[in-house]
Chain A
Amino acid sequence: MREEIIVRVGAKILTPFIIMFALYVHFHGDYSPGGGFQAGVILTAAFALLALVYGLAAVQRVLPPWFTRLCAALGVVIYGGVGVVTMMLGHNYLGYNALAQDPKYGQHYGILLVELGVLVTVFGVMASVFYLFAGRGRRES
């Protein structure tokens, strides 16, 4: 597809919107359907689209495999970290009320942070899985 000008330009134009949509799905996740899982997959889809059109190597220059692996681990640490912070503040694990004076905001921040962890992990894992399967050489048997 490297020669198809419409596909190349189309993918280029779409990519920022897909990424924006992923962030919308994430940050609006507590008012409407959405959240970290969906956002992470949509975010990966943006890069998968680029990889299909421009080739794997081009995308891996922007988003190297070591980075996706780091993301996969980092998200879990963010998620668990929120819980550890609430524990240090004297509440139970993932007791979001600890995060702000007003429990309403505490819950809000808590769920956003946890979902951010989910977003990062899902993005990292899905991108890593995509790289692993796409990067595997086709060996004829």
Chain B
Amino acid sequence: MSLDLFVSHYNYWVVILLMMVGFYILISRGNLIKKIVGLNVFQTSVFMLYISMGKITGGTPPILVGDGHGGDAVEHVVYSNPLPHVLILTAIVVGIATTSVGLALAVRIKEAYGTLEEDEINRIEALVEASE
């Protein structure tokens, strides 16, 4: 792979790095809150992937130039692709919903078990199972 190809695709390297960081946190941490942080970083990398692919060099935000009703729109304006932005707006909202459901579950787990560490929860459950 030539250096040019490496540099010109820098957005993908950022995405991959973020994705792996998030995924690693998700897998390696036992704390339930940290897992959600990892999940968030992981999802954010996908947002980056979509947003960066919609960007056209020199493109303006996809808002109609002119009177707003297309009357005297300037023909030669280059717009960035708005669709990935719209999709990611939806995905961000989904991400927020996932995070809040996850955090709500974490709060309930903390109330039920008194801990947020996965291995301690497993130990408590193992003790309960052994005593039955």
Contacts and interface: CB of A to CB of B under 8 A. Distances in A.
- CB atoms of A and B under 8 A apart anywhere in the complex? yes
Interface of A: 31-33, 37, 104, 122, 129, 132-133, 136, 139, 141
B107 A33 contact: no
Interface stretch (B20-28, B61-69, B124-132): B61-69
B114 A141 contact: yes
A129 B63 CA distance: 33
B103 A141 contact: no
A7 B72 CA distance: 48
| Interface SS of chain B | helix
19 contacts: A31-B63, A31-B68, A32-B63, A33-B61, A33-B63, A37-B89, A37-B93, A104-B69, A122-B93, A129-B100, A132-B104, A133-B103, A133-B104, A133-B107, A136-B107, A139-B111, A141-B110, A141-B114, A141-B115
Contacts of A141: 110, 114-115
Interface in B15-73: 61, 63, 68-69
Contacts of B61: 33
Nearest to B64: A31
A78 to B, nearest CB: 17
A129 B97 CA distance: 10
Nearest to B113: A141
Contacts of B104: 132-133
A9 B107 CA distance: 34
Interface in B82-104: 89, 93, 100, 103-104
A139 B113 CA distance: 12
A141 B107 CA distance: 12
Contacts of B110: 141
Contacts of B63: 31-33
B1 to A, nearest CB: 37
A3 B71 CA distance: 56
A139 B104 CA distance: 15
A22 to B, nearest CB: 16
Contacts of A33: 61, 63
A18 B110 CA distance: 35
Across the A-B interface, the 8 shortest Cβ-Cβ residue pairs: A141-B114, A129-B100, A31-B68, A32-B63, A37-B93, A136-B107, A37-B89, A104-B69
B97 to A, nearest CB: 8
Nearest to B90: A37
B60 to A, nearest CB: 12
